[in-house]
Structure 1
Amino acid sequence: MSRFKRGAKADSLSGFKTEIQEPSVPYGLLKAARKSGQLNLSGRGLTEVPQNVYRLNVDTPEEANQATSFGESDRWWEQTDLTKLLLSSNQLTEISDDIRLLTGLTTLDLHDNQLSSLPSTLGELEQLQQLRLGHNKLKVLPVEVCLLMNLHSLTLKQNLLETLPEELGQLVNLTEMDISSNKLKSLPSSLGCLVRLQKLDLSHNLLTCLPDSLGHMSGLKLLECSNNQLTGFPASLSAMVALEQLFLRNNRLRLLPQLPAPSLKELYAGNNQIEELEAEQLASLSAISILELRDNKLNALPDQITLLSTLTRLDVTNNDLATLPASLSLLPNLTMLLLEGNPLRGIRRDLLTRGTGELLKYLRGRIKEEPENVDDKPTAMTLPSQARVNLHSIKTLKTLEYSEKQAENIPDDIFDAAAGEPMTSVNFSKNKLTSLPNRLLEFQSSLAELNLGFNTLSCCSPEIGKMLQLTHIDLRNNQLSDLPSELENLTKLRSIILNQNRFKTFPDVLYQIVSLDSVLLGHNKVGAVDPGRLVRMVNLSTLDLSNNDLLNIPPELGLCTSLRCLTLEGNPFRTPRAAIVTKGTDSLLEYLRSRIPT
């Protein structure tokens, strides 16, 4: 049966071929591959790889048998060996032993197929540097893969692997490996031999512990262990001195790992069972910038939190905190403090909604020996203008602040003082700004956090979509009713605060930003949300829709299983009843799921 669909153009040379079946790969593609060394057959519905692909390097091209002259571009005898073969997103169930004929391959992409096994001859591809096997049905990784000594990148995510061969440690040139979303209960001890590894993804497995040998990975920069069953962290991992990002979400940890981590900048330990923070643990985090401890069982933050002098973002959402230490206000770089879902006492609710700056100011006021405010007098760090620019914040903290001035425009000398500096944080809150300051674009390559809250913005300029490094935007207490579609470009955006504006619908563009984990839209006039599109926001964990005009809560909202904090109080809906809502997010989502029509 022909592999061509009905109506496909017939091959004029078919009568001269020995094979009955016609090739399912256009000859023009094969001809181009001989020149470029690259062949892309992704997404072609292939159920098998045509034999002429395997034999591309060894068979003489058809044009060699034709009595004709060749131009410079058609010199078949000058062909190059195939180095890159892309076969992703097909229906392949097996790969032939003839894969060994493609000895020049450096990249082989087989992800998103139906492969349940691999040929042992794969180990003969000595030049292979990148092997992608994700999204298949592999239950076993052939030991021959461990012979690929030049391999730099190995992707095995989303398979059915229960074990890995001990010989995996022979791949000493690996720099990144992804074995996430399998059924691994343990890891081979030889993994520690991968001393050049920089990125390792172990997430979404069944691991209860990590091998001590992982500590030998002294060059590892990113370790992803989320969604396992880890109860602890081996002490030997303290040798991972280059580690910059550590992900431990959704495990069974009771304590943070105590690591001398001189390079660790981001630690994500949400959704565990951590009950307390010890001073020794905090002391080891000398370079930490982001610390996520949401959805744990913390009942207090120690005064030693001041040891985290480099901390910029602290997320303790959904814990058991009743009080906050005043020493939090002494953290010089803290610009974002997330506290939703804690039974805090002694702090007014309205104060918690005013943002990190106001809360830290309040906590500073509780420190009895607080010195006089030195900013009231001109110093060597202050320009003699209305702005009183803090050059220390600009040069050292990369923070530009001009807030609470009730200004209609930001003076040019503010921007001039920061010219040429890679600003990461800008705070222009509590002024009378009606539009986004044009000169903000001077920081578009570095700006991560932008606070324009408590102004009079009636629209948000599309130019904000050019600030591609933004992770946090605060636009609360303005007059906004819509957001520009250009916001979709902000692929690193994690949180946005839109409380106290004039939105009548959930901003359409927010559905498109899958990186968002926190959307605060309380105190608006939102009348409906689209649960089908919210479900696709797979990182969304905090959604505040309190005090809006929601007359109906769609049951399909219960399918948003990533949500850890859903706030609906103050809306005029009748169901679910208040008694259900007050039970918390998990109970609310479970109730909504039970109401989905079958």
Structure 2
Amino acid sequence: MASKGKGKKGKAEPEKAQSEFINKINTQTLDQFIEEVLEKGQITEVLTLDLSRKKLSEINPRIRFYFRMLKNLVNLNLYGNKLRTLPVEIGELKSLTRLGANENHLMELPPQIGNLVNLQLLDLRFNRLSTLPPEIGNLKGLKKLFVRFNKLVKIPDEIGNLVNLEVLSLRNNRLQGVPDTVANLTQLEVFDVQHNAIESLPPLGTLKKLTSLDVQYNQLRALPDCVWQLTKLTGLHVKYNQIRDISPDLLLNMGGLEEMDFEGNRLSHVPPQMHALITLKKLYLSRNNISELPPEFGNLRCLEELYINDNNIASLAHIVNLTTLRVLNLSNNNLQELPKEIARLSLLRELNIGANYLSHLIPEIGSLKLLTLLEVNDNVLEDIPNQISSLQCLQTLNLEGNQLHCLPDDIGAMTGLRKLLLGYNRLVEMTPEIGKLTDLIELNLDENKLKRLPPEIGRMVSLEVLSFNENEMNDLPDDLYRLDHLRLFGMDDNPLEDIPGHITEGGSQEVFNFLGQRLAAKEGGGGY
């Protein structure tokens, strides 16, 4: 509940003495604790008071009276209660440096909050505040202010007085704007106003120390021109706004940017000046209207992750020059073929080219030997090259929603596979080589034209999920019963005419047990 500073006595074993002290007061009520420290003359030695998660709906008068005596208190934890307001006596705690009042029901703050001139951290997350008192501007020592997940509709101009503020987080409120005085926060390093309704930003060019600007999920139509002056930015997050253009000046002056996110805007082109982002590692351009990339795009030599899905891209011409890529998402574009030069992306771990118009995979796909994830779902593939078996590191292969009739026999060489998704194709048979995938955990064969499963499927000892709904099977191999780890067995909408009707009507578990009985009889065991 509380702890105190080091007293004059017991210096030989201060840690032991303090531990015994804390263990003792944890068994007392706050009143008992205060009375004891008053009696012993230790009230001024109390540095931390923890009233978190005490189901408090208010601070009772007796405790508020004690506040006046806690002259040296530096940490006060009130989080996880049901407080609707803070007592005016909070202003007596002038030595406070940290106040945690998050996860309450606070609807307002008393003006006396402005008396806490030594406060460095104020946490008001997850409350019901609609505004902050102007006295908040008195907290000139404040370094971190968190007011996330409230109901703020306005920020007072006095926020600009917090000249030592380093982190300002106002995300998930109802703000339509922020005051121009924010420009006075010259020590600010993190400015987070995502998930509001902000239509424009004030001039921010004076925030020379800003490293992270997060304005995602607002109503911005443009970034202020002065943003390019924020030369120390490493993270620029503008996801889901209404921005149509990226300023060339911004790109030319953001040489230290490592992550840039413009997903879900209205971009129709990418400026050639993008090449100036020489330190960029992550770039999000998903869900825009981009149809092509400039040649200079291929000069982003440090780029490791590129998300450009849900656009109108028809060519990888310049993307194949990004040889440092680890993650590439090109799903839901207009790709009809892959260039042979894709082999240059030898460091790729994840490749998503689903929901395009690919009719075949080129043999060079086998050169991407570090791939762990390959998604080619929802294309028009009719076959898979044998070279895919070279992907020994692949763990997830998604080929759903194509026009595949069969799999290459070499599929059994992909022994690293954990998930193989083959649903919604035209498969008429399954190669026995599938049984070599002994580490496979999930196999989906839904909505194909399979008439049988090979008995070798019983060797897939790690399989937990097996689904072959809506196929044309009349019987199932008894060896399925050997799959000890199987927990999901989907077999609906198959004829299964060779299995008694009363068994199939009982569901997948009954069918599974039936296969076990049949297997035991076949092996002469008489049971299972």
1:56 is paired with a residue of what secondary structure?
A: helix
What is the aligned residue count?
356
Identity %: 25
Asked if 1 retains the 8 angstrom alpha-carbon contact of 2:234 and 2:259, the reply is yes
1:27 equivalent in structure 2: 32
Q: Deviation at 1:50? A: 3.0
1:256 equivalent in structure 2: 246
Q: Verify: 1:454 aligned to 2:459, yes or no.
A: no
Q: Deviations over 1:110-132 (max 9, x none)?
A: 11111111110110111111111
2:216 equivalent in structure 1: 226
Tell me how far apart the structure 1 counterparts of residues 35 and 346 of structure 2 sit (CA, whole Å).
60
Letter paired with 1:279: P
1:323 equivalent in structure 2: 315
1:478 equivalent in structure 2: 415
2:88 equivalent in structure 1: 97
Q: Deviation at 1:186? A: 1.1
Letter paired with 1:454: L
Tell me how far apart the structure 1 counterparts of residues 193 and 371 of structure 2 sit (CA, whole Å).
44
Asked if 2 retains the 8 angstrom alpha-carbon contact of 1:244 and 1:264, the reply is yes
**TM-score normalised to structure 1 length:** 0.54
Letter paired with 1:145: I
Tell me how far apart the structure 1 counterparts of residues 247 and 469 of structure 2 sit (CA, whole Å).
46
Q: Verify: 1:275 aligned to 2:268, yes or no.
A: yes
Gaps of 5+ in 1: 1-22, 60-78, 361-402, 405-426, 432-451, 459-475, 483-499, 506-523, 528-546, 553-570, 575-598
Structure 1 or 2, whichever has the larger Rg, is: 2
1:294 equivalent in structure 2: 286
Compared CA separation, residues 332 and 504, structure 1 to 2 (3 A): closer
Q: Deviation at 1:271? A: 1.4
2:49 equivalent in structure 1: 39
Letter paired with 1:262: G
Tell me how far apart the structure 2 counterparts of residues 218 and 131 of structure 1 sit (CA, whole Å).
23
Q: Deviations over 1:357-392 (max 9, x none)?
A: 5999xxxxxxxxxxxxxxxxxxxxxxxxxxxxxxxx
1:308 equivalent in structure 2: 300
Tell me how far apart the structure 1 counterparts of residues 56 and 216 of structure 2 sit (CA, whole Å).
34
Asked if 1 retains the 8 angstrom alpha-carbon contact of 2:31 and 2:63, the reply is no
Q: Verify: 1:265 aligned to 2:258, yes or no.
A: yes
Q: Verify: 1:549 aligned to 2:486, yes or no.
A: no
Q: Deviation at 1:310? A: 1.9
Residues 352-501 of structure 1: matches in 2 within 5 Å? 357=348, 429=370, 454-455=391-392, 477-481=414-418
RMSD: 3.7
2:205 is paired with a residue of what secondary structure?
A: helix
Compared CA separation, residues 47 and 359, structure 1 to 2 (3 A): closer
Compared CA separation, residues 357 and 121, structure 1 to 2 (3 A): closer
**TM-score normalised to structure 2 length:** 0.60
Asked if 2 retains the 8 angstrom alpha-carbon contact of 1:114 and 1:137, the reply is yes
Letter paired with 1:217: L
Tell me how far apart the structure 2 counterparts of residues 358 and 106 of structure 1 sit (CA, whole Å).
45
Letter paired with 1:549: S
1:244 equivalent in structure 2: 234
Tell me how far apart the structure 2 counterparts of residues 43 and 481 of structure 1 sit (CA, whole Å).
43
Q: Deviations over 1:485-520 (max 9, x none)?
A: xxxxxxxxxxxxxxx996445xxxxxxxxxxxxxxx
Q: Deviation at 1:80? A: 6.9
Q: Deviation at 1:89? A: 1.2
Q: Verify: 1:81 aligned to 2:66, yes or no.
A: no
Tell me how far apart the structure 2 counterparts of residues 346 and 481 of structure 1 sit (CA, whole Å).
27
Q: Deviation at 1:51? A: 3.3
Tell me how far apart the structure 1 counterparts of residues 347 and 309 of structure 2 sit (CA, whole Å).
14
Q: Deviations over 1:123-144 (max 9, x none)?
A: 0111111111111111111000
Compared CA separation, residues 165 and 58, structure 1 to 2 (3 A): closer
Compared CA separation, residues 279 and 456, structure 1 to 2 (3 A): closer
Compared CA separation, residues 430 and 262, structure 1 to 2 (3 A): closer
Letter paired with 2:60: P
1:165 equivalent in structure 2: 156
1:517 equivalent in structure 2: none
Gaps of 5+ in 2: 1-27, 352-365, 373-388, 396-412, 420-436, 447-464, 471-489, 494-528
Q: Deviation at 1:31? A: 5.9
Asked if 1 retains the 8 angstrom alpha-carbon contact of 2:326 and 2:350, the reply is no
Tell me how far apart the structure 2 counterparts of residues 548 and 341 of structure 1 sit (CA, whole Å).
27
Letter paired with 2:144: S
Asked if 1 retains the 8 angstrom alpha-carbon contact of 2:299 and 2:321, the reply is no
Residues 497-516 of structure 1: matches in 2 within 5 Å? 503-505=440-442
Compared CA separation, residues 457 and 335, structure 1 to 2 (3 A): closer
1:419 equivalent in structure 2: none
